Amino acid sequence: MSALFAFKLTLVPFFILALSLAGRRWGTAVSGWLVALPVVAGPIVFFIGVEQGEAFAAGAARATIAGLASLAVYSLVYSRVALRTGWVPSLLAGWAGFFLSTYLLNRLPLTLPWSIALALFALVGVYLLLPMVDSEASPPATPSWEIAARMAAAVGMVFLMTALARPLGPHLAGLLVPFPVAATVLTVFTHRYQGGASAIRLLRGLVAGLWTMGVFFLVVAGTAERLGVGASFALAVVADLLSNGGSLWALRRYRETSH
């Protein structure tokens, strides 16, 4: 159990640090894309699976796919409000959108096909509805203390969700897994110090990359009970890296041919 505790305490902060430094290097849109990697949600469901069993992990992963719709709603509401006001009302509105969407989804008997359909519909629809903003002139600097705040928030979410998993059950726990922990910290600090347009660029990148998180949890939902938690998550990591690498390569080729 002490080894599992240490794993929780170190794995997620390491991922958040690596992605934060990458975002500092390549800008807010890329940072948003990288936040879409399952660096918080993935370990949460992994630890839930280790502690609660394979069937619990598969059920939570299935609900997490549907929960991506709530994260997309957060991104849309935050972006629309950020066009007119500051980060506080934008954040409160975004969180309200996430929890309202989660409440509605929790009342549905979500099968795996329905979860996939809901996630696809939400991600495509939200991306089309996100406001367009001017391109970023140069990548913004990220203060070190902000990165530390992201790491601390992510660790707190891992411990909270794994502690609440059993009383919440796999369905509601899975729906809450995509709660925008790193995205909230990153969006708020970007909005406050770089402006609303930079925050919107970040959220556009986030929504554009969320489908790869769906691939990750689709693999877990489909294989956890047959292969076990460890093998299932290893396979999901490979699938996620391939889908991310393929999408980034396609985006790069598109930009090269369009110029």
Pick from 92, 78, 95, 191: nearest CA to 129: 78
Q: How big is the chain, counted in residues? A: 259
For the chain, the domains span 2-258
Where is average pLDDT lowest: 3-7, 87-91, 165-169?
3-7
Q: What is the DSSP letter of 40?
A: T
What was the pLDDT predicted at 165?
Answer: 75
| CA angle, residues 19, 101, 34, in degrees to nearest 5 | 10
Dist. CA 143–CA 216, nearest whole Å: 30
Where is average pLDDT lowest: 100-109, 112-121, 129-138, 169-178?
129-138
* Per-chain mean pLDDT for the chain: 83
Pick from 104, 107, 82: nearest CA to 93: 82
Dist. CA 31–CA 177, nearest whole Å: 20
What was the pLDDT predicted at 189?
Answer: 80
Pick from 72, 76, 95, 87: nearest CA to 196: 87
Q: Tell me the three state secondary structure of residue 83.
A: coil
| CA angle, residues 102, 126, 29, in degrees to nearest 5 | 105
Q: In this structure, are residues 211 and 183 in contact, taking their beta carbons and an 8 Å threshold? A: no
59 CB-side CA count, 13 A: 16
Residue type, 26: W
Q: In this structure, are residues 210 and 58 in contact, taking their beta carbons and an 8 Å threshold? A: no
What was the pLDDT predicted at 145?
Answer: 74
Residue type, 166: R
What was the pLDDT predicted at 78?
Answer: 97
Whether the pLDDT of residue 46 is over 80: the answer is yes
Residue found by looking up tokens 């690596």 in the block: 18
Q: In this structure, are residues 110 and 66 in contact, taking their beta carbons and an 8 Å threshold? A: yes
Which whole number is the average pLDDT over 13-22? 74
Dist. CA 161–CA 165, nearest whole Å: 6
Residues 6+ apart with CB under 8 A from 133: 197, 200, 201
> Per-residue confidence at 51, pLDDT binned at 50, 70, 90?
confident
